[in-house]
């Protein structure tokens, strides 16, 4: 029996035993505690296979695509807002909208998980509340007339609602898949990439044909109609499970902090290409469809990157997979984006960067397993939440930071190719950030992981 399977079974055993300790009546009393556990366990849907598990994974894929695909395609809104009234007169702060939305969604999980752990029977109600908040935020943003209106609605409220709607799925997926956990998370997270392939073309068409108000007002309808896949837990929740404290002892281990440090450093620059590729294409004199193509290529390749890197964490040490991702991302930034002056090279960059950097978050599964080796009581939701928060720090910071890096268009006309477009400093910073994302590999060599 693997360590993850043992963890899942022990969690189930704890849930069952807790109900007896609290004096809750059992539906079927058994003279043998072991026999009772076996019968209860056998009644559960099969983990890692069967119709229920695969339907759950399909539902998780759809939720992932709907919630994360929209902010990951913000680069198109970025270009639209900076070139169309009423927002073009105040361009400062526009970049903050997308990075703030992603940042809050990444920073929110530790708090959301704490609430879901405290009130486990309210998980579905949390999801419904998240759907309502997200829809309200998008409808509100369709009436925006100032940049700060968009920051509040499309940035803050959307992210809060999306986090509340999305995070219960992460908790449930850990119950449904045990042996092929890395692959399962990779498939689910690939939903962002699949949505990223479709959303840019839809948004580019809608923004050009209609307006941002129409597109933002229509998205809640899509969200409500397609966010319906039935996502449910596999293991019944104990009536007293909310009394179980959340262990944070893993915060004392060097393994967590080394992995988290590399995660934060990688996140500082990760979002910048996805936000600025459409604007960068316009700076090269390319058409608006060229920017849409680059975003689509990045998101589509991220699908494969997520699945491949998720599967690799089931076979190799997580720091080895992180190193692979780091090398691909760093080389693509310096050798392709930095030297690009035409659409073909920019497209090649989007492909390579999507395959490498786009799949980085799938390594969190392997990171969680390494952290659990140091602390058996580490909750997957809390570990995932803190790793997501680490990336969220990068997302929040990168909005204002990117505007500072582009201020005055440094190196414009002084450097060659891509670095001479005014985006040179941004490109260099993104490459350095990607390079430091491999920090954990060196940490393992030093014996800290």
Residue, of 320 and 179, whose pLDDT is higher: 320
Q: Is residue 11 part of a domain?
A: no
Residue with tokens 């709907």: 66
Q: Is residue 192 part of a domain?
A: yes
Phi-psi domain of 178 (left: phi exceeds 0; alpha: psi -120 through 50; beta: other): alpha
Integer-rounded Cα Rg, in Å, for the chain is 22
Q: Is residue 37 part of a domain?
A: no
Structural domain range at position 76: 50-445
pTM tops 0.95, yes or no: no
* 125, two tokens: 């109600």
Mean pLDDT of the chain: 79
Q: Is residue 10 part of a domain?
A: no
Nearest CA to 223 among 120, 289, 133, 283? 133
pLDDT per position as a tens digit, 215-255: 888 878 877 776 655 567 777 766 555 555 677 889 999 99
pLDDT attached to residue 380: 75
Residue 417 burial (C-beta neighbours within 10 Å; 0-12, 13-18, 19+): middle
Query: Is residue 296 within 8 Å of residue 376, measured between CB atoms?
Result: no
Query: Is residue 146 within 8 Å of residue 415, measured between CB atoms?
Result: no
Nearest CA to 303 among 64, 137, 90, 91? 64
Lowest mean pLDDT among 40-49, 78-87, 351-360: 40-49
Q: What's 273's domain CATH number?
A: 1.20.1250.20
Q: Is residue 176 part of a domain?
A: yes
- Which alpha helices (DSSP H) does 314-438 contain, by range? 318-332, 343-356, 363-374, 380-406, 424-436
Whether 344 shows a pLDDT value over 50: the answer reads yes
Q: Is residue 28 part of a domain?
A: no
Q: Percent of the chain at pLDDT above 90?
A: 22
Q: For the CA atoms of 185, 188, 191, 192, what is the dihedral angle to 10 degrees?
A: -40
Query: Is residue 418 within 8 Å of residue 424, measured between CB atoms?
Result: yes
Whether 262 shows a pLDDT value over 60: the answer reads yes
- The number of distinct structural domains making up the chain is 1
Nearest CA to 175 among 111, 110, 251, 231? 231
Whether 263 shows a pLDDT value over 90: the answer reads yes
pLDDT per position as a tens digit, 20-50: 333 333 333 333 434 434 444 557 777 766 7
């Amino acid at each position: 029996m693997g360590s993850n399977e043992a963890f899942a079974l022990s969690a189930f055993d704890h849930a069952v035993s807790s109900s007896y300790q609290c004096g809750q009546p059992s539906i079927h009393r058994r003279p043998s505690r072991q026999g009772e556990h076996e019968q209860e366990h056998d009644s559960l849907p099969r983990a890692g296979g069967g119709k229920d598990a695969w339907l759950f994974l399909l539902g998780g894929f759809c939720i992932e695509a709907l919630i994360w695909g929209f902010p990951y395609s913000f680069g198109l809104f970025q270009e639209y807002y900076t070139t169309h009234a009423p927002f073009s007169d105040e361009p400062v702060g526009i970049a903050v909208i997308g990075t703030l939305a992603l940042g809050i969604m990444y920073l929110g999980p530790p708090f959301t998980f704490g609430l879901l752990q405290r009130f486990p029977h309210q998980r579905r109600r949390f999801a419904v509340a998240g759907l309502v908040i997200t829809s309200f935020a998008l409808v509100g943003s369709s009436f925006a007339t100032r940049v700060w209106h968009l920051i509040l609605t499309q940035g803050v409220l959307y992210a809060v609602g999306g986090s509340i709607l999305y995070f219960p799925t992460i908790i449930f997926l850990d119950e449904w898949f045990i042996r092929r956990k890395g692959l399962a998370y990779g498939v689910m997270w690939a939903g962002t990439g699949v949505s990223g392939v479709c959303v840019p073309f839809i948004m580019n068409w809608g923004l050009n044909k209609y307006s941002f108000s129409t597109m933002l007002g229509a998205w809640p309808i899509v969200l409500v109609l397609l966010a319906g896949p039935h996502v449910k837990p596999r293991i019944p929740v104990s009536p007293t499970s909310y009394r179980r404290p959340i262990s944070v002892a893993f915060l004392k281990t060097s393994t967590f902090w080394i992995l988290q440090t590399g995660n934060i450093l990688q996140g500082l620059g990760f979002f910048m290409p996805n936000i600025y590729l459409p604007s960068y294409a316009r700076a090269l004199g390319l058409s608006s469809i060229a920017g849409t193509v680059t975003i689509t290529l990045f998101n589509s390749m991220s699908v494969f990157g997520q699945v491949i890197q998720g599967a690799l964490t089931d076979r190799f040490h997580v720091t080895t997979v992180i190193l692979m991702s780091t090398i691909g991302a760093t080389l693509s930034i310096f050798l392709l984006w930095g030297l690009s002056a035409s659409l073909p090279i920019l497209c090649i960059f989007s492909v390579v960067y999507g395959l490498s950097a786009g799949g980085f978050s799938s390594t969190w599964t392997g990171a969680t397993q390494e952290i659990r080796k140091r602390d058996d009581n580490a909750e997957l939701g809390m570990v995932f939440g803190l790793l997501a928060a680490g990336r969220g720090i990068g997302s929040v910071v990168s909005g204002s930071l990117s505007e500072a890096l582009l201020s005055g268009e440094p190196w414009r006309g002084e450097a060659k190719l891509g670095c001479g477009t005014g985006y040179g400093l941004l490109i260099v910073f993104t490459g350095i950030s990607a390079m430091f994302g491999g920090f954990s590999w060196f940490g393992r060599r030093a014996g800290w992981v």
